[in-house]
Amino acid sequence: MPFTVYLLAFTIFSVTTSEFLVAGMMPSLAAAFDVPVDQIGYLISLYAAGMVLGGPLLTVGLLRLRAPNKTSLLYLLGFYAVAQAAAAMATCYDTLAIARTVTGVAGSACFGVALAICAEQVAVQARGRAASIVIGGLMLATVLGVPLATLVDQHWGWRASFWLVVALTLGCAAIIGRRVPSTRTAGALSLAAELAAFSNRHLWAAYMTSGLIIGATFAAFSYFTPILTQVTGLPLEAMPWLLAAYGAANVLGNTLVGRYADRYSLPIMLGGLIVLSLTLVLFALFAHSAAISLTALLAIGLVGVPMNPAMIARVMATAHPGALVNTVHTSVINAGLGVGAWLGGVGIATGHGLRSPLWVGAALAALGLISLLPYLTRRPAGAQQGTP
């Protein structure tokens, strides 16, 4: 793999640490802004909403400017750092919510452009594996970034955690500026070609499955801290280490899936969704048991987010893997993330208890399985290489 691929993984690590750090500091943020836990969970949804709505529009603007992908990524990282700094300085919940939405806009475009650069750097048959390395930055954020941010929050406060991400983002931009080779200029022709890809219904089918997978996972993940501390009865001080264990499972699952994603994207998603749905049901039924809860946490870590390389390989096999196609995929994934986190919060807010996000996740995983059924026995016409 080119060294550039690993630098792009560092970019995703920086961005994703910011996206998920709220999950590890819900009690601190709820106390700081004097709001209930479910409103803090909505901060994850707002970040995802920014990725869903703003990322593709920002990417289209960059494409029309005919900026090289490397230049676009550097601009986006600078924009991201400014928005993250605004979040770190927020003095009320509304300001923090707006800042989270803006960082989501920049984050979505960062994902899309990073994956487009990745696709330029490797052979077609290696795109799934290369993407798994780039997305490995997301897994590393869960195993290192989020637990580190949680520890910083517990010792120096939540603002310090947000400033940590600002430093990571600026460091990432500096390294990319020096070490990533020049990339192609994205012009009007590439924009037209990418827009044409959206007439492919199999691309939208792939997007739908991706959104459901991530929605199922984050309906549960967004509320791990209150579930494990208030239902299972584990100490709050254990959460950084439990989140680190979850992240380690993400890394392991991503590594395994990445090796086979190009050839077996559908079987990987099918098996992963079966395991995910059953695990969430067991977790919901036996959340009072520490042994079952911890086993479920690790199982969700192994099969949830690590399906990303298979999801990306499926999309790249169905349409040209340019910046816009990848950004819209990122937006769809984050739509699933936001809807999952939001529905989990709705379940809690309407009095169904802290286990309700787990039932929401199980239902979304079941819908993901249903969305795969039409593709299990045939190969859609018009798809490019791989299994769409």
Split at pLDDT 50, 70, 90, the class of 384 is very low
Residue in 313, 289, 315, 296 with CA at minimum distance from that of residue 361? 296
How high is the pLDDT of residue 273?
A: 95
Most confident segment among 24-33, 191-200, 229-238 = 229-238
Give the span between the Cα atoms of 33 and 99, in whole angstroms: 15
Report whether 97 contacts 113 (CB < 8 A): no
Split at pLDDT 50, 70, 90, the class of 177 is confident
Residue 336 lies in a domain: yes
Residue with tokens 């939405």: 101
- 137 vs 207: which has the higher pLDDT: 207
How high is the pLDDT of residue 316?
A: 82
How high is the pLDDT of residue 222?
A: 85
Indicate whether 381 pLDDT > 50: no
Range of 82's domain? 3-375
Indicate which CATH number applies to the domain containing 366: 1.20.1250.20
* Total structural domains within the chain: 1
Report whether 341 contacts 218 (CB < 8 A): yes
Residue with tokens 């190009």: 262
Residue 78 lies in a domain: yes
Residue in 112, 122, 126, 96 with CA at minimum distance from that of residue 21? 96
How high is the pLDDT of residue 37?
A: 81
Indicate whether 367 pLDDT > 90: yes
Indicate whether 138 pLDDT > 80: no
Indicate whether 20 pLDDT > 80: no
Give me the chain's average pLDDT, please.
85
Query: 132, exposed or middle or buried, with CB in 10 Å at 0-12, 13-18, 19+?
Result: buried
Indicate whether 254 pLDDT > 80: yes
**Coil, strand or helix: which one is 185?**
strand
Indicate whether 66 pLDDT > 80: no
Tokens of 288: 């009072």
Give the span between the Cα atoms of 257 and 349, in whole angstroms: 36
In angstroms, how far is CA 281 from the centroid of its own chain? 23
Residue 27 lies in a domain: yes
Query: 181, exposed or middle or buried, with CB in 10 Å at 0-12, 13-18, 19+?
Result: exposed
How high is the pLDDT of residue 185?
A: 52
Report whether 110 contacts 9 (CB < 8 A): no
Residue 94 lies in a domain: yes
Residue in 376, 16, 377, 3 with CA at minimum distance from that of residue 221? 16
Give the span between the Cα atoms of 325 and 213, in whole angstroms: 19
Give the span between the Cα atoms of 324 and 115, in whole angstroms: 10
| Cα–Cα distance list, 337 to 46, 249, 324 (Å) | 10, 19, 19
Dihedral angle sign, alpha carbons of residues 162, 167, 168, 169:
positive
Report whether 46 contacts 300 (CB < 8 A): no
Phi, psi of 185 (to 5 degrees): -85, 130
Give the span between the Cα atoms of 26 and 229, in whole angstroms: 12
Report whether 338 contacts 45 (CB < 8 A): yes
Task: Taking residues 104-119, report their average pLDDT.
Answer: 85
Indicate whether 45 pLDDT > 70: yes
Residue in 11, 4, 159 with CA at minimum distance from that of residue 88? 159
Q: Which residues have a Cβ under 8 Å from the Cβ of 311 and sit 6 or more positions away?
A: 206, 209, 210, 213, 265, 269, 329, 333
Give the span between the Cα atoms of 194 and 326, in whole angstroms: 10
Query: In which element (H, E) is residue 45 found?
Result: helix 37-64
Residue 385 lies in a domain: no
How high is the pLDDT of residue 190?
A: 62
Split at pLDDT 50, 70, 90, the class of 382 is very low
pLDDT in tens, 289-331: 999 999 999 999 999 988 988 998 898 888 776 778 887 887 8
Report whether 305 contacts 138 (CB < 8 A): yes
